[in-house]
Structure 1
């Protein structure tokens, strides 16, 4: 089992991670995790934990993880948007074929405002992109 564990473990949090070095080479043959850094992806920061000095290898591995994490989060963002399009389509079908008057009354104003806000943002962003091309 020890040979299968990675050398580093990243405990993901909202804007980054806590970075641990995984150690299985000890007398008790147990897994020890020693925190070595805190990562803030939004700011691109790597802060050593406590009085620790990070090696070039530590920093390189952490930067690689940060790049992979950003790619994953970007992928998730666009996937969530594609799901939102599916939800909008499902919502339209529900409103047209299944919703009661009381259900529609409960959600219509909130949906209309959210869709108006979204439409306003999308139209403005599309116009900005079109102006940039010209």
Structure 2
């Protein structure tokens, strides 16, 4: 499937589920590092297509995040820039607890997968 977006993720489940049919940029990294990577894409002219802090999951409650950005590079989108900058500021206020329980990690991966699946369905319409 040729899409107009890129899935930026640190979630291996999202990468495995969408990697064959979508353009996925997966890296094993922290939540905040993922947001900083998305920020670099925004500075390069990509537009945010999903909210970096979507869902009711607080940044300190999960280790995984997936964000949709436009594949097409345009000029610097100021609304995307403000949104990613404020999302990073919000995340920096939280203290993360490293979770090692595999069941909790699976749940975190699945919640992120569900959220990004919804954004992908909307983007594909």
TM-score tier, shorter chain, comes to under 0.3
- TM-score, with length taken from structure 2: 0.26
Select the structure of larger CA radius of gyration.
1
Kindly indicate which of the two structures has a greater share of residues assigned to strand. Answer: 1
TM-score, normalised via structure 1 length: 0.25
Per residue, is there more helix in 1 or in 2? 1
Q: Which of structures 1 and 2 has the larger relative contact order (alpha carbons within 8 angstroms, sep 6+)?
A: 2
